[in-house]
Chain A
Amino acid sequence: MRLIVVKRVKTSNLYYIGIPVLSILIGLVMSLLIFALIGVPPDLFIRGIASGFQSPQTLRYFALLVMLGVALTLSFRASIWNVGAEGQMIWGMIAGGYIALFVAAQSMYVSPGELANYASMPGVEVIDASPYAPVVSILLMDPSLGKLLMILFGMLAGGLWALIPAVLKAYLDIDEVATTLILNYVAYQLFSHIASYTLRGLSVQAKQFFRTDKANSALLFDLIRGTSVTIQDLVMAAVFFVAVILMYGYTTIGLRLKIIGSNPQLLRSVGVDERRYILLAMFLSGMLAGAAGVSIFASPGVGKLEKITNVVSPPTMNLGYIAILVSWLSMLDTRLVPIYAYIVASLFQGSSMLQLEINAISPGLLTGGALTYIPIGSILIVYVVLRILTDYSIRVRIR
């Protein structure tokens, strides 16, 4: 018996919609079976997943996944497989955090007796009211300007981090899948070091744990009531989405980023240095991921950089990886990113909620987020299998 695998010359148009939808459905059925096997009743599973679609928390993941999905689609479409959004987000957090903690504001010790005076001054926030060594944060600039700087520098840092694998690919022909992935873990380690030592805070808590001070709350983004998403998250997601679509539709840069994915030799032959476009694709992709990193830092629930104790649950919540699924389900079509970002965000939120519920009923069962990723992972696997089956025809011959 032998298998004959042939790449199909033409693929059906139907698969554009069919594959993503089928992947999600089959993936969910698979997860349902997996959960059933470990003793989770199907109705609980269904309720858990369904709740994700209505949860107000979902919006936050949605906004982040739109930014990240657009970012990854930018590079994937240029045939550059950036799986380094995690690291780029991390650098967005570090740069945004640095601006918030040291440029737009500054924390300092004050004598306990003066604390009350400081507390009543405008632009000053008490970070640590310890009776021995109280710490306040003083705004050094208008907070809107501060937020803007955080975003800009976060984007710059993410973009620069992405340039490392880009340069390696463009000029030394080193595969970017490996380098972007490895650099994620380098970024995690650097992040931990920077949070623990370089930028370690003054407050008692910061000294006790390995982390920076909390940023001045005036510099954090503005929550939309009843949700965990901020206005800035949604605005950035919308701006990036529209900007990238316009870039593809109406600029030579966009056109060349598309063409580099289908035939880089054409760029070279019309006199365009295609290596620069590899750099550009990665830089833009890293910038958007960096912005998502700033969003995470500036979320009112975070506002600090803290040592990563477990690389399985970094502050980026693995969204940089989950966004790969968003980009793939969108079939690398930027216009579809928001739709699948919403679905994936809901599934992610739904499975997190399911995990909490399961832990509550039977604490002994798998913990540590393991269950959260089952639906996402199942969909990813089904997607890959379906893509192989549609991109290639596979026949079995029995001799």
Chain B
Amino acid sequence: MKTQSLFSSKEELSFLRPIISVRNLWKRFPGVEALKNVSLDIFSGEIHAILGENGAGKSTLLKILYGIYVPDKGDLFFEDRKVVITSPRDAVKNGLVLVSQVPQLIDSLTVAENLSLSLRQFGYMSNVKKVSKFLSEKEKEYGVRIDPDVEVWKLSYTQKQLVEILRALLLDAKVIAFDEATTLLPQTEKEKLYEFMKTFKDKGGTVLLVTHKIPEAMEVSDRVTVLRKGEVIGTVKTSETTIDQIRYMMFGERLTQLNSYGYGKLSSWEGSETLTVRNLWVKSDYGVYAVRGVSFSVRKGEILGVAGVAGNGQLELIQALAGLRRVERGIIKLRINGSEINVTNKGSTLIRRLGIGYIPDEPVKKGVSLDNTIEENVAVHPKLSKFLISWRNVKSLASNLVREFSIVTPSTSAKAKVLSGGNLMKVLVARELTVSKLALVAYNPTRGLDEVSAHYVRRLIVNKAVNEGMCAVIASEDLDEIMEMSDVIVVMNSGSIVGVFKSGASREEIERVMVS
């Protein structure tokens, strides 16, 4: 595709001043050219989205801007001044503040204390009272409400993200960069964040939005820059482009692959329930019941989607099914070759050995070990290696998975930490699908994957259900994902199932039950 310039004439540009300019940036990591001659202008007062699939170089670019990596070649300009940025501190001094997916806060301190800490770190006079005053000012300006005296551990994830944003305001940010910061937020909370971005822009701020979600970029941004394999494919005005065009820019020839991912799911498996749950009660980490009397059953080859606004007991349900959370009341039963086995509180090792795969929440944190090789990450599973490990078998299994899932890695004996986030996720999904002879339980199985990879993973799950009779219970915060895969959708609200839908039900109806 031809790279296009949208600003044909110089006059159009004149009233826009680039606040950050990147010129001919190169960055190489062992085995991969992460950025290839990247040049880019971020204009003052715009919301600029940087789109790209996993491994396209978005994070690398942002980390260079924020002083975490140093480029091999190339120049950075902040407000036309050439700058050398070697630490986040330098970036902040130049007016750029990063809000990442993981809130960087100290749990045991209050909001105000956390904020005054970052001031101290950057050498301002500070005290907690001033911070409180500042917060109440910003509350009026942006409609962001956070109690300054509450300890951070009591905050929800969304609130923590808001504190991060407040910190950016407190540091006088001219540019706030969001690094996939909305990925983990539920839709309604995302909207709030978008509102914030727009308000910030109206007040003269600039937003750099790094994301792999096209709809998000389309919704809020003024301009979109697409990266693919470390190169800038093009920068377009959001109002003058279409989703299809952006998708073509992101995926190129692979897009045809994407379009052929029809499911046409026709499960021909007859028979009884593989997984039965009766009147399940499970407590959350805080000791209150998060799952309240849930019952359902899943048949061979069937996919049950668990929808709901995050935090309504889906996570606890999935963990209980995986044997990782105590069942207070109720029964979980499996049917294997005609005989029923009660696995309630029988330990997660047994459940895994019986052939249940599990994709945990926070998959990269909980499901893979970065300091170990891909092979070791495969061999660790109780179902994939006996007491004596046959490394030859593990290696061939791992190579198969790498091929089958098109995992980008130098080799199967490379440490997991050299992989990009999406590829790590693929390693995890690949391993768990291999062991899911009976069933797969998953929480956000495609979180962090780009559109093509996510489709691919979903198709693999669906195929395994259709062809091999695996059943699945999949909870996801992404309703589209659930609607795409499930035969039956249950909606959880406050720990109970409040609605059951067949595939093909209307989205509005499901959403209505979710929030009612």
Q: Residues of A with Cβ closer than 8 Å to B?
A: 2, 4, 6, 9, 250-253, 255-256, 258-259, 261-263, 265-273, 399
Q: Which residue of A lies closest to B347 (CB)?
A: A273
Q: Which residue of B lies closest to A9 (CB)?
A: B68
Please tell me if the beta carbons of A4 and B380 are within 8 angstroms of each other in the complex: no
Chosen A-B contacts, 7 in total, with CB atoms closer than 8 Å, are: A250-B389, A252-B388, A255-B376, A263-B368, A269-B366, A270-B382, A271-B348
- Contact bitstring B326-356, A, C-beta under 8 A = 1, else 0: 0000000000000000000001110111000
Please tell me if the beta carbons of A269 and B349 are within 8 angstroms of each other in the complex: no
* Residue from A251, A259, A263, A267 having most chain B Cβ neighbours under 10 A: A263
Contact of A266 among B322, B352, B367, B385 (CB under 8 A): B367
Contact of B372 among A4, A262, A271 (CB under 8 A): A262
Q: A399 — which chain B residues lie within 8 A by C-beta? A: 123
* Residue from A4, A6, A252, A261 having most chain B Cβ neighbours under 10 A: A252
Contact of A251 among B87, B369, B389 (CB under 8 A): B389
CB distance from B506 to the nearest CB of A (A): 35
Please tell me if the beta carbons of A273 and B68 are within 8 angstroms of each other in the complex: no
8 Å CB contacts to A: which residues of B103-125? 123
Please tell me if the beta carbons of A266 and B68 are within 8 angstroms of each other in the complex: no
Q: A258 — which chain B residues lie within 8 A by C-beta? A: 372, 376
How many residues of chain B get a CB closer than 8 Å to chain A's CBs?
35
CB distance from A284 to the nearest CB of B (A): 15
CB distance from B368 to the nearest CB of A (A): 6
State in angstroms the CA–CA spacing of A256 and B349 once bound together.
14
- Contact bitstring B306-325, A, C-beta under 8 A = 1, else 0: 00000000000000001110
- Contact bitstring B366-381, A, C-beta under 8 A = 1, else 0: 1111111000110111
B507 at the interface (CB under 8 A from A): no
State in angstroms the CA–CA spacing of A27 and B386 once bound together.
45
Q: B369 — which chain A residues lie within 8 A by C-beta? A: 259, 262-263, 266
Q: B366 — which chain A residues lie within 8 A by C-beta? A: 263, 265-266, 268-269
Q: B358 — which chain A residues lie within 8 A by C-beta? A: 269-271
Contact status of A4 and B349, CB under 8 A, knowing A270-B382, A271-B322, A271-B382 = no
Please tell me if the beta carbons of A253 and B371 are within 8 angstroms of each other in the complex: no
Q: A256 — which chain B residues lie within 8 A by C-beta? A: 380
Please tell me if the beta carbons of B386 and A271 are within 8 angstroms of each other in the complex: no
State in angstroms the CA–CA spacing of A266 and B352 once bound together.
13
B89 at the interface (CB under 8 A from A): yes
B360 at the interface (CB under 8 A from A): yes
State in angstroms the CA–CA spacing of A265 and B358 once bound together.
13
Q: Which residue of A lies closest to B351 (CB)?
A: A271
B140 at the interface (CB under 8 A from A): no
Q: Which residue of B lies closest to A253 (CB)?
A: B387
Contact of A263 among B123, B371, B389 (CB under 8 A): B371
CB distance from A255 to the nearest CB of B (A): 6
Contact of A259 among B68, B349, B376, B382 (CB under 8 A): B376
Please tell me if the beta carbons of B370 and A268 are within 8 angstroms of each other in the complex: no
**7 nearest A-B residue pairs (beta carbon):** A271-B352, A262-B371, A271-B348, A263-B369, A265-B366, A269-B360, A266-B369
B365 at the interface (CB under 8 A from A): yes
Contact of B380 among A2, A9, A250, A255 (CB under 8 A): A255
Q: Which residue of B lies closest to A256 (CB)?
A: B380
State in angstroms the CA–CA spacing of A251 and B46 once bound together.
56
* Residue from A9, A261, A262, A271 having most chain B Cβ neighbours under 10 A: A271
Contact of B349 among A2, A253, A266, A272 (CB under 8 A): A272
Q: B322 — which chain A residues lie within 8 A by C-beta? A: 269, 271
State in angstroms the CA–CA spacing of A255 and B380 once bound together.
7
State in angstroms the CA–CA spacing of A323 and B365 once bound together.
33
Please tell me if the beta carbons of A271 and B323 are within 8 angstroms of each other in the complex: yes
Q: B365 — which chain A residues lie within 8 A by C-beta? A: 265
Please tell me if the beta carbons of B368 and A266 are within 8 angstroms of each other in the complex: yes
State in angstroms the CA–CA spacing of A267 and B382 once bound together.
10
State in angstroms the CA–CA spacing of A250 and B389 once bound together.
5
Contact of B352 among A251, A253, A255, A270 (CB under 8 A): A270
Q: Which residue of B lies closest to A395 (CB)?
A: B87
Q: Which residue of B lies closest to A268 (CB)?
A: B324
Given contacts A252-B387, A265-B366, 11 further A-B contacts (CB under 8 A): A4-B89, A250-B388, A251-B387, A252-B380, A259-B372, A262-B371, A263-B371, A266-B366, A266-B369, A268-B324, A273-B348
Q: B387 — which chain A residues lie within 8 A by C-beta? A: 251-253
CB distance from A254 to the nearest CB of B (A): 8
